[in-house]
Amino acid sequence: MIVPHRAARLAAGLLALTFGHSFGARAAMAQRAGGMGLADRARAEQQAPRPDSTTTSWEVGGLTIIHRRAAANQIVVANLYLLGGSRQVTAATAGVEPMLLAVSERGTANFSRDALRQRLARSGSQIVTAVQRDWSLLSLRSTREAFAESWAGFADRIVAPRLEPADVAVVRDQLVAGVRQRRDSPESWAEHLADSVTYAGHPYGVDPIGTEQSLRALDADALRAYHRAEFVTSRMLLVIVGDVTRPVIDSLVTATFATLPTGQYRWTLPDTLPRRPTDLVRDDRNLATNYLAGYAPGPRAGHPDYAALRVATAILSGELFGEVRSRQALTYAVAAPFKEQAVGTVGLTVSTTEPEAALVAMRNVTLELQRIVIDPRALGPLILLFITEYFLNNETNAAQADFLARAQLYEGDWRRHADFARALRAVTPADIQRVLRTYYRDLQFAYVGDPAKLDPAVVRGAR
More confident residue, 235 or 377: 235
Q: How confident is the model at residue 234 (pLDDT cuts 50, 70, 90)?
A: very high
Highest mean pLDDT among 13-22, 224-233, 394-403: 224-233
3-class SS string, 71-89:
CCCCEEEEEEEEECHHHHC
3-class SS string, 237-256:
EEEEEECCCHHHHHHHHHHC
pLDDT digits over 177-219, tens only? Answer: 999 999 999 999 999 999 989 999 899 999 999 999 999 999 9
Write down the pTM of the prediction.
0.88
How far is the C-alpha of 420 from the C-alpha of 340, rounded, in Å?
13
List of domains in the chain: 4-35+271-460 (3.30.830.10), 55-259 (3.30.830.10)
**pLDDT, mean over the chain:** 88
Q: Is 247 exposed, middle or buried (0-12, 13-18, 19+ CB in 10 A)?
A: exposed
User: What does each C-alpha distance from 54 to 119, 210, 213, 241 come to in angstroms?
Assistant: 30, 39, 47, 10
User: What does each C-alpha distance from 40 to 4, 43, 47, 212 come to in angstroms?
Assistant: 16, 5, 11, 55
More confident residue, 2 or 179: 179
Q: How confident is the model at residue 426 (pLDDT cuts 50, 70, 90)?
A: very high
pLDDT digits over 114-171, tens only? Answer: 999 999 999 899 999 999 999 999 999 999 999 999 999 999 999 999 999 999 999 9
Please say whether the beta carbons of 236 and 82 come within 8 A. yes
